[in-house]
Chain A
Amino acid sequence: MDHPHLDRYRPPEGFVLVRSHLDGVEVYAPVAVDEVMEQRVRCAGCGASIAWDPGRQALHCSYCGTTSEARRGRDEGEGEFTAESLARGARGWGTERPELHCEGCGAVLTLDPGHLAATCPFCASSRVTVRETTEDALRPTRVLPFRVQSAEAVRTAREWLGRGWLRPPGVVEAAQLDRFLGVYLPYWVFGAHLTCAYECEVGTDRWVTVRRDGRTERQRVTDWVWKSGQVAFRSDGVVVPGTARVAGLDRVGSFPLESVVPYTPDVLVGFAAHSYDVALPEAWDTGRARLRSLAADAAKSNAGGDRQRNFSASVDLNEESWSYALLPVWLSTYTWDGRRWVLVVNGASGEVGGTRPVAWSRVYLAILALLTPGFFTGVCIGLPTLLFMGFGLVVWIFAFILIGLGGIGSVVLYNHALGEERL
Chain B
Amino acid sequence: MTAVVPEGESRAGRSPVACTHCGAVWLGSVDGGGRSTCALCGTGRLEPTSARMEGAPELAVPFAIDEKEARKRVAAYVRDQVMPVTDAESAPDRLVAHYVPAWLVDARAIAAWEAEVGFDYEVESTVERLEGGRWRSVPTRDRRIRWEPRAGRLTRWFDNEDVPALSTWKGWREVIDDPGRRGALQLRDGAPILVPDLVPEAAWPAAEVGLKKRIAVDLQRATQAQHVRDLYLDAQWEDLHWTWLLFPVYAASYTDHRGDVRMLRVDGISGRVHGFVAASPSRARFRAGLWGSLGLAVLGLSALVALPGIVIWPLLLLTALGGVLGFAFLVGAVVPLLRARGHNAGMPDRDPVIPRGLPAPAPTSPP
Contact = CB atoms under 8 A, between A and B. Distances in A.
Interface of A: 1, 3, 5-6, 9, 11-12, 15, 20-22, 24-30, 80-84, 288-289, 292, 295-296, 311-318, 320
B59 to A, nearest CB: 25
Interface in B105-150: 110-112, 114, 121-131, 135, 137, 142, 144, 148-150
B110 A311 contact: no
A1 B153 contact: yes
Given A5-B110, A30-B148, A82-B123, A25 B130 contact: no
Contact of B123 (A6, A11, A80): A80
Contacts of B130: 292, 296, 311-315
Given A82-B122, A292-B128, A30 B149 contact: yes
Contacts, number: 104
A84 B154 CA distance: 31
What's the dominant secondary structure at chain A's contact region?
mixed
Given A27-B222, A83-B124, A315-B128, 4 more contacts: A26-B153, A295-B128, A314-B129, A315-B127
B224 interface: yes
Interface residues of B, number: 36
Contacts of B129: 312-315
B159 interface: no
Residue of B111, B131, B148, B151 ringed by the most chain A CB atoms within 10 A:
B151
B367 interface: no
Interface of B: 110-112, 114, 121-131, 135, 137, 142, 144, 148-157, 218-219, 221-224, 236
12 contacts: A1-B153, A5-B110, A12-B149, A22-B222, A24-B154, A26-B152, A28-B152, A81-B124, A292-B128, A315-B127, A315-B129, A317-B128
A25 B124 contact: no
What's the dominant secondary structure at chain B's contact region?
strand
Contact of A317 (B121, B125, B144, B151): B125
Contacts of A313: 129-130
Given A22-B222, A84-B121, A15 B151 contact: yes
Contact of B218 (A15, A22, A84, A315): A22
A24 B215 CA distance: 11
Residue of B112, B128, B144 ringed by the most chain A CB atoms within 10 A:
B128
Contact of B126 (A11, A28, A317): A317
Given A3-B110, A292-B128, A24 B152 contact: no
A83 to B, nearest CB: 7
Please list the 5 inter-chain residue pairs (A to B) with the smallest Cβ-Cβ separation, ordered nearest first. Answer: A22-B222, A25-B222, A315-B128, A26-B152, A292-B128
Contacts of B151: 11-12, 15, 27-28
Given A3-B155, A288-B137, A22 B128 contact: no
